[in-house]
Amino acid sequence: MPAMQDERKHGPLFHILDVAFNIIVIVTIVAGIRTFLVSPFQVEGSSMVNTLADKEYIIINKLAYLIGIPKRGDVVVFHPPNDPSKYYVKRVIGEPGDEVTIKDGYVFLKKKGSAESIRLDESSYLNEKNLGHTYRHPPSSEDAAAVTYKVPEGDYFVLGDNREGSYDSRSFALDNNTKAEPYVPVASIKGRVWFVALPITKIQALAPPAYLELR
């Protein structure tokens, strides 16, 4: 009998409140996950082909940069310095303190603390059309003249994998409507691209290149 009496105390209002509480808990958990752990985004445009294609859905790992920092080769989602209201997706090329030089269609890197500038081996992610075709602004100019970027502390230099069709660090500071720098502050980087989620046929995890061969 006591068990039956307890059951009677749980009327319709109790069940409504119970459902509402569970919904609130679920929404809070999902919001927390999206804010601090992972978040979905849709790729717009072709600036990252062949790594990422237009209309693909990607999942970004936000936690990676809450407990660590961006590394060279990471594909990241960020707010561009010339328009903080937008989201861009590009690849980190220059870390704080690096010198990045673009000349003769290639990227040359002088790491922070190093006296030697070496050509960055990008063959693992640039397709045949783009390998050896990285030029100064505008990206499709085929202007092989050298330009050097000295990355400030706390900032990053980014490029799209579609080097002849990407609006990136080469262009940010040259937008006539802004006074932006070519570099992306670490605070503007929202996460590292973890994997492609859709379409199903394209599902894959993105691993940063090892850069074992720097020449």
Question: What's the gap between Cα 72 and its chain centre?
Answer: 11
Contact 93, 99 (CB under 8 A): no
The SS3 assignment for 8 reads helix
Reply yes or no on whether 111 is catalytic: no
**C-alpha closest to that of 45 among 202, 166, 188:** 166
Tokens found for residue 197: 């989620």
Reply yes or no on whether 47 is catalytic: yes
Q: What is the dihedral of CA 167, 214, 128, 191, to 10 degrees?
A: -40
Could you give the C-alpha distances from 150 to 59, 98, 135, 175, in angstroms and in order? Answer: 31, 6, 17, 19
Catalytic residue among 47, 166, 169, 188: 47
**C-alpha closest to that of 54 among 164, 170, 166:** 166
Q: Rg of the Cα trace of the chain?
A: 23
Contact 179, 39 (CB under 8 A): no
Q: Which residues are catalytic?
A: 47, 90
